Structure formats: C-alpha cells, structure tokens
Amino acid sequence: QQQVKQSPQSLIVQKGGISIINCAYENTAFDYFPWYQQFPGKGPALLIAIRPDVSEKKEGRFTISFNKSAKQFSLHIMDSQPGDSATYFCAASRKGGGNKLTFGTGTQLKVEL
C-alpha cells in the first residue's frame, strides 16, 4: 500500500531529446507527488510537484503528467541538456502522519552530446 514504483532504472538521452520517467503508486490516500533531482554527493532538490486535482503541471522544461485513474504520474524533461544528467526520484505523501514521503527507487539519467 505504501509502495511507489519507478521506471526505468537508467536512461540515456541525446542532447535536445525528451527524457521520460514513469512512476506508479498503490495508496489512493496519497495527495502530493513531488519529483526530486539529485547530483552525486548532494542531497535531493525539489524539482516540481503536483497534486491529484490537476492532470499536468509545467515549469520551464519540466512537466509532470498525472493520471489519477491509472494511479500513475510521469516526469518529462524537454530539450534535455548534459547538465540534466542526475538521478531523479519520484515520491508521494498523504496528509497527516507527518507527511512522510515514500520514494521511488530512482532513475539515473545521462544526457549525451
């Protein structure tokens, strides 16, 4: 009930291409879905987040698509750049109980020139 499944585990994209990372969840009580970006040796940094009352949220080159009926959400990185090479984590939390985050297992993205 608390699991968040993330795929793919790793991804190689050409510069200028679109990177797509997918997540699926089981707990219908989740109501907050953030994406974090992590560089080696650093802590995760919030990239973008969405609530289930909207189907899409865009911030610059980053877009979250959310499908409530399928219990899936995805991150799209448009015009991918070498500087986007990092590990990306999806997560989910619900109100109450400390708003604890349940994380996916991460996707290692490499953007090649």
Partner 1 sequence: DGGITQSPKYLFRKEGQNVTLSCEQNLNHDAMYWYRQDPGQGLRLIYYSQIVNDFQKGDIAEGYSVSREKKESFPLTVTSAQKNPTAFYLCASRLIVGARGNQPQHFGDGTRLSIL
77-110 in b/e burial notation, b at 16+ Cβ within 10 A?
beebeeebbbbbbbbbbeeeeeeebbbbebbebe
Answer for which of 14, 29, 51, 79 binds partner 1 (CB under 8 A) is 51
d(CA 38, CA 32): 19
Residue 46 as a binder of partner 1 (CB under 8 A): the answer is yes
| Shortest separation between residue 49's beta carbon and partner 1, angstroms | 6
Residue 1 as a binder of partner 1 (CB under 8 A): the answer is no
Closest to 24 in 3D by CA, of 6, 43, 1, 46: 6
Residue 45 as a binder of partner 1 (CB under 8 A): the answer is yes
Residue 98 as a binder of partner 1 (CB under 8 A): the answer is yes
**Contact residues: partner 1, CB under 8 A:** 2, 6, 9, 31-32, 34, 36, 41-46, 49, 51, 89, 93, 95, 98-101, 103-106
